[in-house]
Chains A and B, each alone.
Chain A
Amino acid sequence: MNWIPWLLAGWLFFVGIYGVISSRNYVHLVGCLAVVQSSTYVLLLSVGYRQGAGPPIFFHIPPGRAVDPVVQALVLTDIVVGATISALLLALALQVHKVKGTLDPDQLRPLRR
């Protein structure tokens, strides 16, 4: 049971990377990259979790035992930024499609030599 969170983070990380490696479509690749990214969120939040503690919000309760707010702060901003980076990648994919008419990374080759 105790391994589950770490195992999941590792699973998401490598399954996403597998997707990136085997992808035949840039749009699909961007989605896989987002999966890799989500693995880091899962890892960080699992690190900050504490058995039986509540969220670090003390609006109704007095300050005290709660899960770690630091990792949450780190992840929270990163999620939003991650979306904009996905957008950047999608914009790249869109332009690639316009210029080349294909999205298969294996059919494209950057400037050689």
Chain B
Amino acid sequence: MTPLVPLPVAVPITVAAFLLASGHFLPRRVPDLLAMATALAMTVISAVMATRSVSGPLTYWFGGWSTIGAQVVGIRFQVDPFGAALAAFAGLLFFATFIFAWGVFEKIGALFHVLMLFFLAAIDGFVLTHDLFNLFVWFEVMSVAAFSLTAYRLEASALEGAMNFTVTNSLASFCVLGGIGLIYLRVGALDFSALSQAVAADGGDPLFLGSFALLATGFLIKGAMVPFQAWLSDTHAVAPSPVSVIFSGIMVPVGLFGVVRLYFSVFAGSGVITTVLNTLGLWIGVASALLGGFMCLTQRHLKRLLAFSTISHVGVMLAAFAILSAPAQAGFLLYLLGHGLTKGALFMLSGLLLATLGGIDEIGLRGLGRQVWPAGIAFAVGGLLLGGAPVGLMDEGTRLIDAAASQAHRDWAALACLLASALTGGAVLRATGRIFLGWGKVAGEEERGPSEQEQEDANRPLWLLLLPAVVLLCLALAEGGTIQRYARLAVVALMSPGQAAHAPVPVPKPPHPILPWISTLLALLIAAFDLFRDRIPHSILVTNDRITTPLRHLLEPMHSGRVGDYVAWIVAGLAMLAIALSVAS
């Protein structure tokens, strides 16, 4: 038992408790520095565990309890390369966010840091644990810390966004707890290994299926997948931008990772569940990718736009997972990392706009971005990366996913994901062109922006705002070869829990190298289409409207901002899963 394992959870909690106790008495910058140091230390520790666990999982029994007879009575963390990599990534993202948030939350003293450190501890616990109820505990800590961070601005929209977030995600917790109850009823254990043995023995047991339906609903709510996605855009749009960075960069993908972890550690033995994931899961992923991409394009509030693009990209991740083959999971990890870095940077940049220009409305800011042109370059790079440009981690992931998709004869899914990337990339590029270059005048619309005052404190120099975003983008652009190899190693241990990752899974036949270029080109075209409407023949515009208007009328009511609607959709999603599972069995 290496004593490193409990640290990613225990240290942030301890530091947070210290900050909560002493926050009022410490000099102003101490909480900032302490939080940064903690996040960095956790990154390093997780990275060390990530390399060490390649030769076999690092198991840690809390409280020294393991088993009585054959019955597991304690809680263990079982560190596998996949989970440890996610923990390291979470630490890194928190570190960058603490730099970005330097001095922003002075009004509430150290409370921001306290909640963020709880958040970090929860994410680390969530990805490392090997116990179902413990997974739920960290899931809920994550939620509660996030609830508290959302409503910081106390504006009407922030409060309502936080309300929707809290209600939907509390329901997610209840669903997970219900699922735990059902599986405990059959197995009488909470340790993943015991559960997976039981599931493997009788994969068609309705209790397991019911349990999976509830658990998956819970995690898919957090992962913001169709039809559970509506809370995300409200929440991300109104949360303070440092918090949005964490939400989009790590919290939502980690919610989805909950399904991944549960499937491979517990439910992989059930043929019914495998079938359902392989079909319905794939559809949900593709639907989320396309819906997110389309809605993204219709937004003018920049953070809301980015929020929808998160739905889209997490949808791509779900589609990748639902292919269920090993290379697809490697692609999942790479895509998650690349997306988190890129999206984190983009949220930071929109925070920069909020701080320096005092607005977030794409049309209202038209041309104003010239004052902060370096941010424009970074924005464009982020847009290109989201759009599928053939460079960096996200592209590395996309290629693996595409290859795995065509191997599994799911080329249509890969193509749909390509379209989704092009849509989101196009939307971000359009915003870049409009804000930083002043293109795409929309006469008479400037005044119709969101009326609420949203400015964030501009008490930081521009370079300090820009630096973390640029660093994240550089990381996202990094040559992905080593990480790709690591990801292919990590999936071995992910897919057969408890095993060492001996050799990386082979790379399947790569897709045609022109695909990423098509995606990028498409993104640029979409952006150009919106920016240069006045030069496009009228007949094309009319045709475009004829296609998009019904779609908008169909999709917009789903995101009405009323919590009742969202919950109704959640029940509909649960029904969908339940029906699919009972049909498949």
Interface residue B166 (Cβ < 8 Å from any Cβ of A): yes
Collect the chain B residues with CB atoms within 8 Å of residue A21's CB: 564, 567-568, 571
Tell me how far the C-beta of A84 lies from the nearest C-beta in chain B, rounded to whole angstroms. Answer: 8
Interface residue A67 (Cβ < 8 Å from any Cβ of B): no
Collect the chain B residues with CB atoms within 8 Å of residue A23's CB: 564
Asked, given contacts A40-B181, A85-B144, A95-B154, whether A111 binds B161 with beta carbons under 8 Å apart, the answer is yes
Collect the chain B residues with CB atoms within 8 Å of residue A20's CB: 167, 171, 563-564, 567
Collect the chain A residues with CB atoms within 8 Å of residue B184's CB: 44, 47, 71
Please encode chain A, from 17 to 30, with 1 for each CB lying within 8 Å of some chain B CB and 0 for all others: 10011110010010
> Does the CB pair B151–A95 fall under 8 Å?
yes
Collect the chain B residues with CB atoms within 8 Å of residue A105's CB: 163, 562-564
Interface residue B162 (Cβ < 8 Å from any Cβ of A): yes
Q: Give which listed residue, B304, B562, B571, contacts A113 with CB less than 8 A.
A: B304
Consensus secondary structure, chain A interface: helix
Q: Which residue of chain B has the shortest Cβ distance to A77 in the bound complex?
A: B137
Interface residue B456 (Cβ < 8 Å from any Cβ of A): no
> Does the CB pair A110–B181 fall under 8 Å?
no
Asked, given contacts A22-B564, A92-B159, A99-B154, whether A110 binds B144 with beta carbons under 8 Å apart, the answer is no
Q: How far is the CA of A47 from the CA of B188 in the complex (A)?
A: 9
Give me 28 A-to-B residue pairs in the complex whose CB atoms sit less than 8 angstroms apart, sorted by A's number: A20-B563, A21-B568, A26-B163, A40-B174, A43-B181, A43-B182, A44-B177, A47-B184, A47-B185, A71-B181, A92-B151, A92-B162, A92-B166, A96-B159, A99-B159, A100-B156, A109-B160, A109-B560, A109-B561, A110-B160, A110-B161, A110-B164, A110-B238, A111-B161, A111-B304, A111-B450, A113-B298, A113-B301
Asked, given contacts A20-B563, A110-B157, A110-B160, whether A13 binds B174 with beta carbons under 8 Å apart, the answer is yes
Collect the chain A residues with CB atoms within 8 Å of residue B181's CB: 9, 40, 43-44, 47, 71
Q: How far is the CA of A13 from the CA of B171 in the complex (A)?
A: 10
Collect the chain A residues with CB atoms within 8 Å of residue B162's CB: 92
Consensus secondary structure, chain B interface: helix
A-B pairs, 6 with minimum CB distance = A111-B157, A110-B160, A110-B561, A43-B181, A40-B177, A110-B234
> Does the CB pair B166–A99 fall under 8 Å?
no
Within 8 A of A (CB), among B165-197: 166-167, 170-171, 174, 177-178, 180-182, 184-185, 190
Given A21-B564, A96-B156, A110-B237, 10 further pairs, Cβ under 8 A: A13-B174, A20-B167, A21-B567, A29-B563, A71-B181, A85-B144, A92-B151, A108-B561, A108-B562, A110-B160
Q: How far is the CA of A80 from the CA of B133 in the complex (A)?
A: 17
Tell me how far the C-beta of B229 lies from the nearest C-beta in chain A, rounded to whole angstroms. Answer: 15
Please encode chain B, from 398 to 439, with 1 for each CB lying within 8 Å of some chain A CB and 0 for all others: 000000000000000000000000000000000000000000
Q: Which residue of chain A has the shortest Cβ distance to B298 in the bound complex?
A: A113
Please encode chain B, from 234 to 275, with 1 for each CB lying within 8 Å of some chain A CB and 0 for all others: 100110000000000000000000000000000000000000
Q: How far is the CA of A108 from the CA of B160 in the complex (A)?
A: 8
> Does the CB pair A96–B170 fall under 8 Å?
no
Within 8 A of B (CB), among A31-67: 33, 36-37, 39-40, 43-44, 47
Number of interface residues of A (CB under 8 A): 40
Collect the chain A residues with CB atoms within 8 Å of residue B563's CB: 20, 29, 105
Q: How far is the CA of A40 from the CA of B560 in the complex (A)?
A: 29
Q: Which residue of chain A has the shortest Cβ distance to B186 in the bound complex?
A: A47
Within 8 A of A (CB), among B279-309: 298-301, 304
> Does the CB pair A29–B167 fall under 8 Å?
yes
> Does the CB pair A111–B452 fall under 8 Å?
yes
Tell me how far the C-beta of B180 lies from the nearest C-beta in chain A, rounded to whole angstroms. Answer: 8
Q: How far is the CA of A75 from the CA of B450 in the complex (A)?
A: 43
Tell me how far the C-beta of A66 lies from the nearest C-beta in chain B, rounded to whole angstroms. Answer: 14
Collect the chain B residues with CB atoms within 8 Å of residue A43's CB: 178, 181-182
Q: Which residue of chain A has the shortest Cβ distance to B150 in the bound complex?
A: A92
Q: How far is the CA of A78 from the CA of B133 in the complex (A)?
A: 12
Within 8 A of A (CB), among B523-570: 560-564, 567-568
Q: How far is the CA of A74 from the CA of B171 in the complex (A)?
A: 17
Interface residue A93 (Cβ < 8 Å from any Cβ of B): yes
> Does the CB pair A74–B163 fall under 8 Å?
no
Q: Which residue of chain B has the shortest Cβ distance to A74 in the bound complex?
A: B133
> Does the CB pair B156–A36 fall under 8 Å?
no
Tell me how far the C-beta of B67 lies from the nearest C-beta in chain A, rounded to whole angstroms. Answer: 14
Asked, given contacts A36-B171, A88-B147, A108-B561, whether A13 binds B156 with beta carbons under 8 Å apart, the answer is no
Q: How far is the CA of A13 from the CA of B570 in the complex (A)?
A: 13
